[in-house]
Amino acid sequence: MAWCCSSNPFAAFISDQPCAKAQTPSTLREQKRTTVGTDVVASEKLRIKQNRKITKKVAGWLEYVHPRVYERFKSKDELHAVLMQIAKGLEPDEDPLLPAGDGCVCWLGDVVHDSEEPMFYMQMPEDATPACRAVKRMIVFCFADDESFAKFDLPPLGEPVRMMCGNQSCTRLDHIALST
């Protein structure tokens, strides 16, 4: 059976002539494979573009890292790896430190099941295996100045960080609640 590809879908019903460009199911599968291959190339290009944005964002963040962070991380590479993990959990065009607007910068990565608190896995030199780390705590630790760091209302470990916006998936530094 031939598949008709005429611009008029009813041509096969009103004409005795076979379609000029008949396609069989096997040729359609080949076209689909080609299309899928093209989509894979396009998605790879998008992934590369997003990785460039993420790398550029992290490079910008490194300028704002507080000196206390270098006491905790043994090398700039360790810190860079952690910041890359955080950046990959966000939209490539969103920045919790230097946001474009007033809205939340929402976390798209892993969360703590019961509280929806943004988290990521990180292995510190003293850890045998990667451990769950709170994203917002790491952002505060890395980027808050001393005065703000002392005022942040950080709850005990394991409890969610309070957000002034009320959105637990928000990672925006200026939305994290300060002590009163």
What is the DSSP secondary-structure string of 102-151? SS--B--S-B-TTT--BEEEE--TT-SS-EEEEHHHHHHHHH--HHHHHH
3-state SS assignment for residue 23: strand
For residue 125, the model assigns a pLDDT of 67
Give the whole-angstrom CA distance, residue 70 versus residue 176.
23
For residue 152, the model assigns a pLDDT of 84
- Per DSSP, 100 falls in state S
Which one, of 149, 138, 141, 145, lies nearest residue 178 by Cα?
Answer: 149
Do 130 and 122 meet the contact criterion of CB atoms below 8 Å apart?
yes
pLDDT (tens digit, 0 to 9) for every residue of the chain, 180 residues total?
A: 444 444 554 444 444 444 444 444 444 444 444 444 556 667 778 788 888 999 999 999 999 999 999 998 888 998 999 999 999 999 988 999 988 888 999 999 999 877 889 999 887 767 778 888 899 999 999 999 999 898 887 888 778 888 999 999 999 999 998 875
For residue 48, the model assigns a pLDDT of 83
For residue 131, the model assigns a pLDDT of 84
Which tokens sit at 73? 């991380």
Global pTM reads: 0.72
Count of CA atoms in the C-beta half-sphere (13 A) of 120? 22
For residue 178, the model assigns a pLDDT of 81
